[in-house]
Amino acid sequence: MSKNKDLTYEDALGQLQKIVKDLENRDIKIDDLASKVSQAKSLVDFCREKLSQTEDEINKIIRPASNDEIFE
């Protein structure tokens, strides 16, 4: 999977869910299996990174202000 700056978490998750569904339904040919697993790993990595970045951003927002900021 190439790095796509326009890829959203929701898009990546949808693609990942389709791969899982295809695997469960045995709709993936053996010749395509390795590339689908590789694509799935890339999508999982992308989703994990996106979740981590979002968690960091949220923690910055909700982190209590320092003592200096409280008294200003």
How many CB atoms lie under 10 A from the CB of residue 46?
Answer: 21
Domain that holds residue 28: 9-70
> Residue 72: is its pLDDT beyond 60?
no
Contact 14, 52 (CB under 8 A): no
Tell me, what's the pLDDT at 40?
97
Range 11-36 average pLDDT: 95
**Is position 1 within any domain?**
no
- Which residues are within 8 A (CB) of 23 and not within 5 positions of it... i.e. 6 or more apart? 36
Q: Is residue 3 part of a domain?
A: no
Q: Per the domain annotation, does 41 fall within a domain? A: yes
Rounded mean pLDDT, 27-47: 95
Is pLDDT above 80 for 65? no
pLDDT band at 2 (very low <50, low <70, confident <90, very high): very low
Q: How many domains does the chain have?
A: 1
The average pLDDT across 62-68 equals 69
Residue 45: count of CB within 10 angstroms of its CB: 12
The distance in angstroms from the start CA to the end CA of the chain is: 49
| DSSP for residue 47 | H
